[in-house]
Amino acid sequence: MKKTLLLAIVMLACVAIKAQDAPTSQHLAKLPAVDIQTPDGHVFNTKDIQNDGKPIIVSLWATWCRPCVAELTAIADEYEDWVEELGVKLYAVSIDDAKTSARVMPFVNGKGWDYTVLLDVNSDFKRAMNVNDVPYMCILNGNGEIVWQHTSYAPGAEEEVYEVLKSLTSK
């Protein structure tokens, strides 16, 4: 019994010491700074992804990825309203390789997507983000910190994206 009591006191003391070491504010990750390309071939560093303190969606996708296309198409149906209501901006970062990247803009234009499109032809940004599968989407708050992320797509998932965006703009 004395050993159990002593063990409990030691454990409580360790918890109390650990609590003192805990950070007082949550440290959120930011996007890594990686050089990728604009559709017209200019270098674009991902540290320059910004939206004047408003929320940002970053989507890694490919023209050959059906779930990616389904997700971006579903969001396109709502995007204009989201921009007007929440001030959001979506960066669609294609991971199509150098052989297929020429198809990206005709594909985007054919879909009528009004997103900022960037090209990660060597998957450098994808690797830096530690993303294995697409579609991958993350939401950044006004400070450029990743506050939400997911992979894959299921119909209706855009509602969750909207709710996260709404929670960021209602603070």
- Interval 16-54: pLDDT, tens: 333 333 333 356 899 999 999 999 999 999 999 999 999
Q: What is the largest CA-CA distance in the chain?
A: 75
Mean pLDDT of 77-105: 97
Q: How far is CA 139 from CA 56, 100, 136, in A?
A: 6, 27, 10
Q: Determine the structural domain holding residue 127 and report its residue range.
A: 30-170
Q: For residue 14, is pLDDT > 60?
A: no
Residue 87 in any domain: the answer is: yes
Residue 14 in any domain: the answer is: no
Provide the token pair at 61: 């996708």
Q: What is the pLDDT of residue 170?
A: 80
Residue 132 in any domain: the answer is: yes
Q: What is the pLDDT of residue 93?
A: 98
pTM of the model: 0.83
pLDDT per position as a tens digit, 131-145: 999 999 999 999 999
Q: What is the pLDDT of residue 11?
A: 44
Residue 147 in any domain: the answer is: yes
Q: What is the pLDDT of residue 9?
A: 44
Domain count, the chain: 1
Residue 24 in any domain: the answer is: no
Q: How far is CA 29 from CA 46, 87, 119, 149, in A?
A: 14, 22, 22, 11
More confident residue, 7 or 23: 7
Provide the token pair at 57: 């969606």
Q: For residue 108, is pLDDT > 90?
A: yes
Residue 6 in any domain: the answer is: no
Q: What is the pLDDT of residue 73?
A: 97
Residue 59 in any domain: the answer is: yes
More confident residue, 12 or 37: 37
In this structure, what CATH number is given to the domain that contains residue 71?
3.40.30.10
Residue 83 in any domain: the answer is: yes
Q: What is the pLDDT of residue 171?
A: 60
DSSP 72-136: HHHHHHHHHHHHHHH--EEEEEE---TTTGGGHHHHHHHHT--SEEEE-TT-HHHHHTT--SSSE
